[in-house]
Structure 1
Amino acid sequence: MMKRLLVVLMAVLAPLISANAQEAVMVVEAHSGKVLIGKNSTVKRPVASLTKVATAVLVVDWAEAAGVDLATREVVVPNSVAGLGGSNPMRLVPGDRLTALDALFSAMLGSDNAAAQTLAHDVGIEFLRREGRQGDPVAAFVAQMNHLAEALTMRKTHFVNPHGLEAQGSVGLSTAADIAKLSIYAMRRPGVTFVTRQSSRQVKVRGAAGERAFTVKNTNELVSEHIIGVKTGTTAGAGECLAISSEREPMVRAKADGSKGVTPRRLIVVLLNTQDRFGRAKGLVQQGWGLYDGWVAHGAPVNDREREILTVPDPRG
């Protein structure tokens, strides 16, 4: 009886296990929303440090709404970074001080878990203060990350922390399609693109031994004039992950009335649980633009909007 039950259970779980073991791909042109390539794009799985895209977006949106200059706002590394694990390129320890902008650079370029936790703690305090309540600032921040995901219609996404590390019984999940939505919105925010398009950035930290400088290098090897983001990620559970944004010059066309119409062009590529993520992304950028050009040349037809177009609302609006 037990053996039969095990066989039935494995038959039910096998498709899910197989799907999660496979690469997930989503390629979409951001301004039209045209989905160009999709593979396992709605399968829920860990997304590692792609989580930090939501952290960056939330910090930038909060700063803009609150009129806060991230370049001058000083944040203090909280006690919760102790024992956090993973990437900490600046070797941040509780009590260290740095600007919110430098923390954002380290979190997004260097995939710095301690910097992401620090930003979440600092902004989370402001969220709690606004709501007039006590509590865990990081938990308050993560709750807002999930509100952001809901506002962006990322229906298969649930964040559990601001950095993407996996812990037993606590793993954030998303999909390639949902991360594409997040990336499209992130690349609409100049405060985010200003950070993610840098190949490196010098940051400063003030600690017990005085000030120290550190050059944070972008883990996204593809960043260039035309690749302006977005984020890398790797954990044992998520595998190699990457989200990139490829820019083209806007398309200019003459209208019937003699005026000119300008169409922006931006390609978002998301890879989850892949191998050779940078090589794969290069190939998908080339393939994606080719498919987009062919679609436009045929008049940009849309037969099934729900399946063919990825719609990303503006939660600010």
Structure 2
Amino acid sequence: MEVIMKNTILSHHPRAYGTVIVLLLVTLNAHFAFAKNAPRYKSAILVDVETGQVLFEENADKQVIPASVVKMMVLLLAMERIEAGEVSLSDTVTISAWASKIGGHQVYLAEGEQFRFEEILKAIAISSANDAATAAAEFLAGDADAFVEQMNARAQELGMEHTTFANEHGLPPDKGQEENHTTARDIALLGRELLKHPQLLAWASTQEDTFRNGTFILTNTNRQLLRKYQGADGLKTGFHSRGAGFNVCATAKRDNRRLIAVVMGASQKSDRYNAVVKLFNKGFNQYKRVVVLQKGFTVGDPLLVNRGKERTTMLVASDNAVVLVPKGKELEITQDVRIPVDAIIAPVDQGMRFGEAVILVGDQEVARVDLVTGDRVEKGNLLELLKWWIVNKIS
């Protein structure tokens, strides 16, 4: 009965049709606008490289499948071994039967082929070659399983608390094997560590190179971002269709500021690219770098010295305190100076920590810096001790 009445009303009032249609269009437009603006990825994070400050995060601690992003750890361990003098870029790598059989994206290594270690690393960093990743793992650790153990050990040292590596190349597991797992936050940590090695950034920013004496072209899997986004120069992409989606740990530098953007589990390659661009634009356009404290600058009130040559000493910042704040909110930066002692007893060496300065933007903590003795505090002789005893009594 109710439906019949509604139809009757509409049939006698044509304007009602227009009202209903307008309401439907508004509802549909709102729905599609929401769907268009909704993130099409599983997790993301934006980090300032200099300070480690997180400028944006969404599901950053959600476990995801990294796919080829795991190769960042392969590259890190390789560069650390090189810089420790344990191996060299000029060392010869002989390809094993196992490495030659690794599928997916590859440079088609053949059993018994030999390459400079540098060429193997280039193939990983630029072209994300799975067979090259296995060759590097075997070269560095004897076999791939032993190398994966090293990957997991280094991840723990870096504080990658939610990461477990199962293989060195990122391919999906075969039946009975385990999958790699990580988080956007953990990958950002790994990216910051990787950026300490300029050679890796040089490879990661190369759009195209050659391999096997110029007979094979290495094409960068991150070339769209490198070509189109000003300042972009790395780092690593990843993809497979069995739960990973499209992943990237990207970095860009503008005006002496470097950011890392991590996007994991994007639905499409274009979603990955668009999300990274949006994150970088947010970091570069909406935030301002502010030096709150400079290394060596005095902080807080003079600290009383007992038994010292001098009556007081000053604490200084042990390092620069740099923060990124949303533009227009610079006046919201405050310092909370925490010195839990009223006095120190001489002698005290230079650089001894006695407090900290906590930097806040509004009520959010964004940085900390230790407060240390700027100079050595010498113990006073008898006359000096008597002098300061008298001063303390009458002051």
TM-score (norm 2): 0.61
1:195 maps to which residue?
Answer: 203
SS in 2 for 1:223: helix
1:198·1:218 contact (CA, 8 Å) conserved in 2? yes
Distance 1:110 1:121 in 2: 19
Q: Distance in 2 between matches of 1:184 and 1:150?
A: 15
- Kindly state the Cα deviation for residue 304 of structure 1 after the two structures are TM-superposed: 4.5
- Structure 2 partner of 1:74: 92
Aligned residues of 1:200 and 1:218 also touching (Cα < 8 A): yes
What secondary structure does 2:63 align onto?
coil
Whichever residue aligns with residue 47 of structure 1, its letter is: P
| 2:144 paired with 1:138 | yes
The aligned residue for residue 209 of structure 1 is none
One-letter amino acid matched to 2:275: R
Residue of 94, 102, 113 corresponding to 1:96: 113
Q: Which moved more, 1:275-284 or 1:146-155?
A: 275-284
Cα deviation digits, residues 12-48 of structure 1 (max 9, x gap): xxxxxxxxx9521011111111111111110111100
CA contact under 8 A between 2:91 and 2:117: conserved in structure 1?
yes
Note if contact 2:94-2:112 (Cα within 8 Å) is conserved in structure 1: yes
Q: Which residue of 2 aligns with 1:278?
A: 273
Which residue does the alignment assign to 2:137?
Answer: 120
User: 1:36, 1:291 within 8 Å by CA — same for their partners in 2?
Assistant: no
Q: CA deviation at 1:278?
A: 1.5
Alpha-carbon offset, residue 118 of structure 1: 0.2
Looking at structure 1, the residues matched to 65 and 86 of structure 2 have their Cα atoms a distance apart, in angstroms, of: 34
Higher strand share: 2
Code of the residue aligned with 1:140 in structure 2: it is A
Aligned: 1:295 with 2:312: no
- How do residues 1-317 of structure 1 correspond to structure 2 at under 5 angstroms? 23-66=42-85, 68-70=87-89, 72-88=90-106, 90-125=107-142, 137-167=143-173, 168=175, 169-204=177-212, 213-220=215-222, 221-223=224-226, 226-236=231-241, 237-250=243-256, 265-274=257-266, 275=268, 276=270, 277-293=272-288, 295=325, 297=327, 298-299=329-330, 301-302=360-361, 303-305=363-365
Equivalent residues of 1:33, 1:309 under 8 A apart: no
Shift of 1:176: 0.3
Q: State the alpha-carbon separation in 2 of the partners of residues 97 and 248 from structure 1.
A: 40
CA contact (8 A) 1:35 1:309 kept: no
Unmatched segments (≥5 aa) in structure 2:
1-39, 289-323, 334-359, 369-395
Q: Which moved more, 1:186-195 or 1:236-245?
A: 186-195
- In 2, the alpha carbon distance for the partners of 1:166 and 1:77 equals 22
In structure 1, the gaps of 5 or more residues are: 1-20, 126-136, 206-211, 251-264, 311-317
Q: Which has the higher contact order (CA 8 A, sep 6+)?
A: 1
What is the TM-score when the length of structure 1 is the normalising length?
A: 0.75
**Identity between Structure 1 and Structure 2 (%):** 27
Partners of 1:295 and 1:187 in 2: CA distance: 23
